[in-house]
Amino acid sequence: MSSEKQEREPLFSAKNRKLLTNPLGVDNPITVQVLGICSALAVTAKLKPAFVMSLSVIAVIVFANLIISLMRNGIPPRIRIIVQLVVIASLVILVDQFLKAFVFDVSKQLSVFVGLIITNCIIMGRLEAFAMSNKPWPSVLDGIGNGIGYAWVLVAVGFVRELFGSGTIWGYAVIPESFYNIGYENNGFMILPPMALIIVGIIIWIQRSRNPELVEEN
């Protein structure tokens, strides 16, 4: 493809739309690339921290993609990983500072996990695989796509775990008292990290059974 042709490409061309939609399904960072599992286990016991974590990761991945893409022609290849890490780490520190200033209780819940966004392999993966070799706009779309692809899995897992583990959604009780009176109990196992792995596994299973292209042949 010639470069002039790329200049005239519309903002939401078919190719750009694919950057946005592929990571939601067939190229999902969690269920297909199996990246970022650590945080998917750690912050999904309740919906609210899962949601805030998702927003934080989306913010970091979009801006990191944009910044690296803008810098891509000047970055010396020999220190490119360090440059990427500095960009990610600075953004994460900014996010952490903002959370502490504006949503303190959430930042308390996320505590160490905000710092762990730095090591979320989705972000470095996208920088190295995409932003280093693409223009800013597609990189932003790629960041949004992958961020949302990560977010929906996190939110889905958080939803299931909070509903069955604590009987609440977003902190509000949704399972009526009468259920408990006739012997229903919250599943304490749902609160523990292994359950997140099992739920992610179930999501992967459903996705692959509906889309056989994803199934490896052997």
Partner 1 sequence: MYSNAYIFRYAGIMVILVAAILSSAAMLLKPMQERNEAVDKMQSILSAAGIENVTTENAIELFNSYVTDMIVIDNEGNVVDDYQGDGKQNSEAFNLNLKEQLYNKSVNKGFKLPMYVLEKDGQKINIIPMRGVGLWGPVWGNIALKSDFNTVVGVTFSHKSETPGLGAEIDTPGFQNQFPGKELFDDQGKFVSIDVIKGGVNNFPVDIQRHKVDAISGGTITSNGVNDMIKNVLESYVPYIQKQG
Instruction: Kindly list the residues in this chain that would bind partner 1 in the complex (CB under 8 A).
Output: 42, 45, 74-79, 82-83, 86, 90, 93-94, 97-98, 100-102, 104-105, 108, 111-112, 191-193
Report, in Å, the least distance between residue 108 CB and partner 1. Answer: 7
Report d(CA 31, CA 27) in Å as an integer. 8
First to last CA, the chain: 35
Shortest distance, position 94 Cβ to partner 1, whole Å: 6
- Residue closer to partner 1 (CB basis): 20 or 52: 52
Give the shortest CB-151-to-partner 1 separation in angstroms: 21
- Give least dist CB 157 to partner 1, A: 15
Distance CA 58, CA 29 (A): 12
Which CB, 15 or 108, lies closer to partner 1?
108
Please, which residue, 28 or 166, has the CB nearer to partner 1?
Answer: 166
| C-alpha–C-alpha distance, residues 212 and 75, integer Å | 40
Contacts of residue 140, defined as CB under 8 A and 6 or more positions apart, other chains included, come to 62, 65, 66, 69
C-alpha span between 139 and 148 (Å, rounded): 14
107 or 134: CB nearest partner 1: 107
DSSP 213: G
Q: Cβ of residue 111: shortest distance to partner 1, in angstroms?
A: 6
Pick the closer one to partner 1 by CB: 104 or 179: 104
State CA 78 to chain mean position distance: 28
